[in-house]
Structure 1
């Protein structure tokens, strides 16, 4: 009797896991070339972005403000910035791209959102691994000075990305123009992230204003983990962690409140 009750308790969780697995496999096959290897393209896309930017700055003869390697300096800013941009952006279109799947009663919007979040998290980790291998091949040391701080920063901005992706993705399913606005907003996020400059070196008023962006905080945190002499006056780690937790909460809340609209 107890075993039967236990099976019933596990059944909903197993059902959700099976649904998310099916959605992930479908995503893997349909996003690129109708083949699972398309997942590698997802991971390589931001890598190409980084390579183009690094080549541009190297050709321009820029010197790293911190450390001995221009590659490592820019990568320390690009990793959290592109992680946020790609994870939140791809999550924001997940419901729009998979709206037909909601015709199946067993599939809920949150299943689509979380399955995409898992895929993007895996893609982000794979991208980071590729970056490390390339930097090693170029003779650079890609390991941060404080590994624990870099990992904490990475997961904080990842959670923030997932939360924002849930909010934008849920709203976009019944207000598609919002997704276009968000895509354009990414240009501003990238330009003000601090990838191409040191936020602390800006005039106080400008630097303090930019510091309200969690992406800027992630860049500052990651660079402080890479360079022991990187003293950022705008870094607030607790602010980024709070923003991450808040975005996840709001993402779940918005999905729950708008679930009926999504089905209509």
Structure 2
């Protein structure tokens, strides 16, 4: 029994060390190539929110919710770019870590998990800095509902992980899918509720838009920042169900074909 426990601890240590090593490699290659690597991770969403604020402040007197344009658009834009960037990065996980996957101690799941953890922590930090900066700069009196905000972020994380695992297989077996995926996501910027509230959309378009899981994520996020907003159409169960289905098929395909994908790329 003691021997079995020792083996399990040893395997966990090796597994954890592999994931941490992959995370450090990701940090060095993605953010460490230039001094402004992490600064750009913050500057990009700030520029996006600023652009939306300038454009729509000329078109509307006040945002659809609250009275501060930057906060309204940040609560939609930040979860959206987290999802988009993470699904793309997870899709490239095998390609990025292919040389290391030849070692028995490193698996395709390690490559996916390391990218997921690093980019989730990075985006969570960016979210806190940008949203907190808006509140401080504009002197907003915001009553934050932290459990709801964390729930919304966990919904976005689960959805990105599920879709990202399928992308990891599809990007490897059909590289053209990476371009197709980028094209398909362009209208999502408009259809995910960044600029509007789903409750204000008339039927039957409201029902059609509700099939987009990101609509539920953004609605739940805004509920955490605006106490007067009742995100009655947000359905976390639907988001988690879509996430689990995507994750199941993604992991199933990768588990069956990851060796073939590695040999094709060799």
Question: Taking structure 1 as the reference length, what is the TM-score of the superposition?
Answer: 0.88
How far the C-alpha of 1:259 sits from its partner, in A, is: 1.8
CA displacement 1:199-242 (0-9 Å, x = unmatched): 22122111110100100111122223333333456332321232
Q: Residues 153 and 218 of structure 1 are in contact (CA less than 8 Å); yes or no, is this contact kept in structure 2?
A: yes
Q: Residues 153 and 221 of structure 1 are in contact (CA less than 8 Å); yes or no, is this contact kept in structure 2?
A: yes
Q: Residues 143 and 227 of structure 2 are in contact (CA less than 8 Å); yes or no, is this contact kept in structure 1?
A: no
Q: Which residue of 1 aligns with 2:185?
A: 186
How far the C-alpha of 1:96 sits from its partner, in A, is: 2.3
C-alpha change, 1:184 and 1:203, in structure 2 (3 Å) is same
Q: Give, in whole Å, the separation in 2 of the partners of 1:129 and 1:145.
A: 12
Q: Which residue of 2 aligns with 1:122?
A: 121
Q: Residues 49 and 70 of structure 2 are in contact (CA less than 8 Å); yes or no, is this contact kept in structure 1?
A: no
Question: Taking structure 2 as the reference length, what is the TM-score of the superposition?
Answer: 0.88
Select between 140-149 and 215-224 the one with higher mean Cα deviation.
140-149
Q: Residues 19 and 107 of structure 1 are in contact (CA less than 8 Å); yes or no, is this contact kept in structure 2?
A: yes
Q: Give, in whole Å, the separation in 2 of the partners of 1:32 and 1:223.
A: 29
C-alpha change, 1:258 and 1:46, in structure 2 (3 Å) is farther
Q: Residues 72 and 141 of structure 1 are in contact (CA less than 8 Å); yes or no, is this contact kept in structure 2?
A: no
CA displacement 1:14-71 (0-9 Å, x = unmatched): 1111111111111111124536873453354333322332333335554112212122
Select between 108-117 and 93-102 the one with higher mean Cα deviation.
93-102
Q: Which residue of 2 aligns with 1:87?
A: 86
Q: Which residue of 2 aligns with 1:171?
A: 170
Q: Which residue of 2 aligns with 1:253?
A: 252
How far the C-alpha of 1:84 sits from its partner, in A, is: 1.0
Give matches, 1:1-264, under 5 Å.
2-34=1-33, 38-60=37-59, 62-141=61-140, 143=142, 145-232=144-231, 234-264=233-263
Q: Give, in whole Å, the separation in 1 of the partners of 2:212 and 2:252.
A: 22
Aligned residues, how many?
A: 263
Q: Residues 148 and 224 of structure 2 are in contact (CA less than 8 Å); yes or no, is this contact kept in structure 1?
A: yes
Q: Give, in whole Å, the separation in 2 of the partners of 1:82 and 1:142.
A: 26
SS in 1 for 2:40: helix
Q: Give, in whole Å, the separation in 2 of the partners of 1:145 and 1:81.
A: 20
C-alpha change, 1:140 and 1:185, in structure 2 (3 Å) is farther
SS in 1 for 2:173: coil
Q: Residues 159 and 244 of structure 1 are in contact (CA less than 8 Å); yes or no, is this contact kept in structure 2?
A: yes
C-alpha change, 1:39 and 1:100, in structure 2 (3 Å) is farther
Q: Residues 170 and 255 of structure 1 are in contact (CA less than 8 Å); yes or no, is this contact kept in structure 2?
A: yes
| Stretches of structure 1 lacking an aligned partner (at least 5 in a row) | none
| Stretches of structure 2 lacking an aligned partner (at least 5 in a row) | none
Q: Give, in whole Å, the separation in 2 of the partners of 1:151 and 1:65.
A: 23
Q: Residues 173 and 262 of structure 1 are in contact (CA less than 8 Å); yes or no, is this contact kept in structure 2?
A: yes
CA RMSD, Structure 1 to Structure 2 (Å): 2.4
